[in-house]
Structure 1
């Protein structure tokens, strides 16, 4: 005879079998996954930061996850466009650029800061010993940016400059230099190659500047380590939404769900890997959806319009 308990047990067994079969289906199609990140620091630093988390993902998903360190934001965009990059760590601007140019990528999470917020800022930094107190003081000087697709290192700085009635940075400054990374922008500032540098900043303990100071990567002319007091911020943008982690839209739903679960479980399942990834400055991952970056898409369109005006 069948009773309610027997029926429920049978249903549960069928559900488990179906889930297991489904997982095996995507594992057969995706025996390996590629995860791309854009370095905010040198390549060895990126590997040291990400390797434990990548190992954790491999264990949780049951397939090998490969870390791909992209040369720039465009490489991540193109990697997802051609389907070679399955998971990507984006900046807000680069994700928006990917969406604008037809890449079938979807956001599922972003970083939650230690205070629970999910945003950061773009800052203009100068050396404290310099005479510069505002952007007005820097006309005809050299500006260091990060990458054309960097949010805090190019797009938001240009938007902020436009609010100051500086629509063409290349005309206002003597030279505008794309340094290639957040670290390189600050190195250029420390070495005097540029007079002002745009960079990301969340709080005094969570920024590229603080990471570099902690690792004594910034030096004075005599070789002594620089300190926080050697730098001055002369402008801070409005809050920017932390960039998303995104997956290819056309991957199986259960694979995407497994990736999301692994991310959200990370702070408790592998605390050491998560804290290495975040320098202990993040609370965890926040739920996110693609439409959260609609405002950033509008920002990208605006910056594009500035470029078109300059070229016309």
Structure 2
């Protein structure tokens, strides 16, 4: 016979087990490391992400440390070694991680202000330049971001290949990896390169827009540059927004807690969430690793171009 006492005792056991389970990951992971790829300079990344990381620490009940990666590969290798538990990836760097056996799983990506979850790779030139298309830039200098950047290397090479330019290094006078999206725009503004590849979601949501808002771009006379000082001469097809990913080997309760904290952040800590994108994102969209299968195929294609060039 099932008595009220047995039911209550059973409920108490379940409650205790649930409570103990909730604490399991805290014992194993008293600290977590959250790494971010270098879309902007280190101080900019710190200012943008510190409030959100503080929010994560509060929600997860363990200290979350922010790591600003020197390059995209550092995030990949940090997750491979298990030194990074949560990462903000670009689509191509996540695909590269998966292709090279890193045990990492996507759980979310950004929702744009218009509700979409994608962006574009664009080629920027200065508006004062005579360049109207890629055809005008043969022998000129191209600024890229990082070998593992989606919009700053892999998609640009794919787009160039579609135009019949199978060897970027042979077509342009010089191809320079600048290290970050901001550095690529800076190189263009300062005349170090004639054209720069970069990420762009809308006129108000891009690395260029963020830099203009912060007053980072100056003319030769010291005056602030404006949006119309730059021109887009080519825009790619839409690219899926890069994922937020956690190590596949993390405890399931910790994975669930991380995802929950992300999805609830726009309402639980709107100020911290809005700081991430200057208020240009609406929230986080639930995602799975398979959502980047198309990007993996893109990376394989770009790798094949490199191999053809080597032979």
2:163 is aligned to 164
Alpha-carbon deviation of 1:9? Answer: 5.3
Does residue 129 (structure 1) correspond to residue 107 (structure 2)? The answer is no
Q: Equivalent residues in 2 for 1:44-83 (5 A)?
A: 44-83=43-82
Pairing 1:1-312 to 2, within 5 Å after superposition = 10-312=9-311
**Cα distance in 2, alignment partners of residues 186 and 121 from structure 1:** 15
User: Hey, what's the Cα distance between the residues in 2 that align with 1:43 and 1:273?
Assistant: 18
Structure 1: distance between partners of 2:7 and 2:68: 48
Give the conservation status (yes or no) of the 8 Å contact 2:38–2:72: no
TM-score w.r.t. length of structure 2: 0.97
| Matched residue SS, 2:34 | strand
Residues 41-67 of structure 1: CA deviation (Å, up to 9, x unaligned): 111111111011000000000000000
C-alpha RMSD over aligned residues: 1.3
Question: Structure 1: any 5+ residue segments left out of the alignment?
Answer: none
Contact 2:219–2:225 (Cα < 8 Å) also in 1: yes
CA distance in 2, matches of 1:236, 1:163: 13
* CA deviation after TM superposition for structure 1 residue 22, in Å: 1.3
Could you tell me how far 1:11 is from its partner in structure 2?
4.9
* Alpha-carbon distance in structure 1 between the residues aligned to 2:8 and 2:200: 53
Q: Cα distance 1:10–1:114, how it changes in 2: closer, same or farther (>3 A)? A: farther
Task: Give, in angstroms, the shift of residue 8 of structure 1.
Answer: 6.1
Q: CA deviation at 1:197?
A: 0.2
Shift of 1:15: 3.3
Supply the distance in 2 between the matched residues of 1:25 and 1:304 (Cα, whole angstroms). 42
**Structure 1 length-normalised TM:** 0.97
1:207 to partner: Cα distance: 0.3
Q: CA deviation at 1:7?
A: 6.4
| CA separation of 1:285 and 1:13: change in aligned 2, threshold 3 A | farther
CA distance in 1, matches of 2:7, 2:293: 44
* Cα separation, 1, equivalents of 2:8 and 2:207: 53
TM-superposition CA deviations, 1:206-242 (whole Å, max 9, x none): 0000000011101101110000010000000000000
1:296 aligned counterpart, secondary structure: helix
- SS of the aligned residue for 2:20 comes to helix
Q: Which whole-Å CA distance do the structure 2 matches of 1:304 and 1:178 have between them?
A: 17
> Using a 3 Å threshold, how does the CA distance of structure 1 residues 163 and 12 change in structure 2: closer, same or farther?
farther
